[in-house]
Structure 1
Amino acid sequence: MITMVKRFVLPKISRLCQNKSFQAVYRSGKSYANKNLVVYVLPNKSANRRIGFAAGKRLGPAVVRNRVKRLLREAYRLNQDKFISGVDLILVGRQPLVKAKLVQVTKSLLELSAKAKLVVEKS
């Protein structure tokens, strides 16, 4: 018997897909960084939060870059309910993420999110 594994997939409305969308966030957005990653933030005109993930070629071959993006995606997935809406985000992995574990990535993401005021305040 074959069991189907349900994967988490960000809906298309929640993703930055086009190069021009990425470029707009890079050019006009504000950046926040720590040793593990960089977060670019640009307010958008909708109520949706859109996100993109990036890993530059300096990190290594495609296998390594894809792992970094998977780590970023998973850290975001686990904490997406803590982020505010109405922004475009890009998460860019840095060199230390190549050897990092998910716990470290999540901690870095939440630190930067707090610094960038992207975290929803608890009432």
Structure 2
Amino acid sequence: MGSLGKFASINEAKEFKKIYDEAKKWHCECAVVYFLASEQKKFAVVASKKIGKAVIRNRAKRLIKAAFLNIKNELKSGSFVIITKAGINEMKFGAIEKNLRWSFRKMDILK
């Protein structure tokens, strides 16, 4: 489980497909957020090669994970997939967290 506490990882292709097909979706400056309500708490961050090389993609994923950790206790339970957008590495951490919180509010998934 690692540092995400009660959130399990999503790592099967069929889980990703189900979330992409059925979930609520919202775009913000730094990412695309998918949320599918369920009893289980699951989470994944995706960074495509459009973001940059491996080091840059990993940094983008770390930024999203850190921002998500700060907000996780305010969220309804379900599966989250967050896809990073190009330019995320130029954003300040506070702006990333604010964008995610705004997205969650718009999707009505804050408690």
Equivalent of 1:64 in 53, 56, 59: 56
Secondary structure at 2:26's aligned position in 1? strand
Q: Please give the per-residue CA displacement for 1:7-51, whole angstroms capped at 9, x wherever unaligned.
A: x6225852212222112111221210022111011122xx23211
Structure 2 counterparts to residues 17-96 of structure 1, below 5 A: 17-44=11-38, 47-85=39-77, 87-96=78-87
1: CA distance between counterparts of 2:75 and 2:92? 22
Name 1:104's counterpart in structure 2. Answer: 95
Aligned residues: 110
Residue 22 of structure 1 contacts residue 52 of structure 1 at CA under 8 Å; is this kept in 2?
no
Larger-Rg structure: 1
Identity of aligned residues (%): 25
Name 1:4's counterpart in structure 2. Answer: none
AA in 2 matched with 1:53: V
Q: Cα RMSD between the aligned structures?
A: 1.6
1: CA distance between counterparts of 2:44 and 2:60? 13
How far apart are 1:59 and its partner, in Å?
Answer: 0.7
